[in-house]
Amino acid sequence: MTQHHAFSGPLLELDAARIEAGGAAGEAWTARGGERRLALVGDFRPLFRLLGADATLLSGTARLGTVPLAAAVARGVAGLAPLDPELIPDWTAERYLLETARLRGFGEPDARRAADAAIALFELYGAARMRVTQLYVAVQRVVQLAQATIGEPVCLCVEAPLSGLDAEAQVYVSAAIDRACAERRLIVSVPTLPARGAERTLVDRADWVIVERAGRIANEGTPATALSAGKRCIATVTRGGDAFLAALTKRGFAPARVIATPEVLGAVASALPAVPLQILVELHPGATPNDVFAAAVDAGAPLVELVAV
């Protein structure tokens, strides 16, 4: 049976941590924080691969509390729910949970009780006897979450749980995460930050946020500070707005449309034949307004105004 371990310190501590995953070595990451809920915004797949013992820490340190990240699952400190792992086609959800308990050292009666408890906690009664590959993706992710809770880890590490789901499915999975983490700590990732919705709520409810852009740690802090850190500007274009948004995203920005009124647009609106589009751009470290201008050129979107805010 998995042994329990005390958990102290921040949820995550990265000190010049350079991770090799899939044959590619990433940048050195340094970040530290989180008390009860930590949100990771960006591409943190190497970190989750390291948690799953499917990557290598080349240099630096990476810890969950005081435990090396690569050993946290094996030591029972963390439960890992990776994004859509390959599933065994013939196994039911119930068998997945049962086999997980056995692998974690439970004897037969205890393994059965652990699987039954996970099914009850997440109300998977209807899905338990079904082949897991036949379940809706959202239900599969809840099964992965249930699997991660077996052994009573003190922290759950959940990779992009709402990615690619519709709004209703996101609410379902979010409720399962809240249920699982009522008495546990949580590390959860969001590939991109939307302006609203369940993924935004996951981030806003965290006590600490770490933001990755273009392979580097860009910002960290509370949601209010990490998500607004850096210089910001509003770009106004007369056409090609979608292409401009795509070009900005390709350059590592997280652009957002601005709902602009004629009063806000002022003289700009009156001088143009069509209603312009305004886009809020947060300049990540190392970026300048020239990068925004270059994105507009790439997109063929006439940039008529660029104002720092």
Instruction: Give pLDDT, residue 267.
Output: 47
Q: Residue 246 — pLDDT band, cuts 50, 70, 90? A: very high
Domain ranges of the chain: 12-226, 231-308
Residue 291 has pLDDT above 90, yes or no: no
If pLDDT is split at 50, 70 and 90, which confidence band does 262 have?
very low
Q: From the CA atom positions of the chain, what is the Rg in Å?
A: 22
Residue 181, token pair as written in the block: 């983490």
Under a CB-based contact definition with an 8 Å cutoff, are residues 65 and 10 in contact?
A: yes
The fold of 12-226 is Rossmann fold (3.40.50)
Instruction: Give the per-residue pLDDT at 268.
Output: 44
Residue pLDDT, tens place only, 172-187: 999 999 999 998 999 9
Centre a 10 Å sphere on the Cβ of residue 219 and count the other Cβ atoms it contains.
21
Q: Which residue has the tokens 């005081």?
A: 66
> pLDDT-derived band of residue 280, with 50, 70 and 90 as boundaries?
confident
Per-residue model confidence (pLDDT) at position 232: 72
Q: Do domains 12-226 and 231-308 have the same CATH topology?
A: no
Pairing between β-strand 78-81 and β-strand 155-158 as defined by DSSP bridges: parallel
Contact 244, 236 (CB under 8 A): no
Q: Mean pLDDT score of the chain, rounded to an integer?
A: 88
Which residues, at least 6 apart from 238, have a Cβ–Cβ distance to it below 8 Å?
A: 272, 273, 274, 276, 277, 301, 302, 304
Question: Can you tell me the mean pLDDT for 203-227?
Answer: 88
Q: CA nearest 17: which of 52, 64, 84?
A: 64
How do beta strands 277-283 and 256-258 pair?
Answer: antiparallel
Q: Calculate mean pLDDT across residues 69-73.
A: 95
Q: What is the pLDDT of residue 273?
A: 47
Q: Which residues of 68-80 are buried (b: 16+ CB within 10 A; e: fewer)?
A: ebbebbeebbbbb
The torsion angles phi and psi of 285, rounded to 5 degrees, stand at: -55, 130
| pTM for this model (two decimals) | 0.74
The DSSP output letter for 71 is G
Taking residues 141-146, report their average pLDDT: 97
pLDDT at 281: 87
Average pLDDT estimate for 201-223: 90
DSSP classification of residue 131: B
Distance set, CA 285 to CA 56, 212, 216, 248 (Å): 27, 11, 10, 15
Q: Which whole-number Å values give the CA distances from 171 to 105, 166, 223, 262, in the listed order?
A: 33, 9, 21, 36
- Phi, psi (rounded to 5 degrees) for 102: -65, -45
State how far the Cα of 261 lies from the Cα of 251, in Å rounded to an integer: 28
Q: Is 286 helix (H, G, I), strand (E, B) or coil?
A: coil
The confidence band for 269, taking pLDDT boundaries of 50, 70 and 90, is: very low
Quick one: average pLDDT of 114-140? 95
- 231 has a pLDDT exceeding 60: yes
pLDDT of res. 76: 92
Q: Quick count: other Cβ atoms within 10 Å of Cβ 229?
A: 17
Per-residue model confidence as pLDDT tens digits over 101-118: 999 999 999 999 999 999
List, in sequence order, every beta strand (DSSP E) within 22-100: 24-25, 29-33, 37-41, 56-64, 67-68, 78-81
Q: What is the average per-residue pLDDT within 195-220?
A: 90
φ, ψ for residue 245 (rounded to 5)? -60, -45
pLDDT (mean) for 92-103: 95
Q: Tell me the CATH number of domain 231-308, given options 3.40.50.1100, 3.30.70.120, 2.30.29.30, 3.40.50.150.
A: 3.30.70.120
Mean local confidence (pLDDT), 182-199: 90
- 230 versus 26: the higher-pLDDT residue is 26
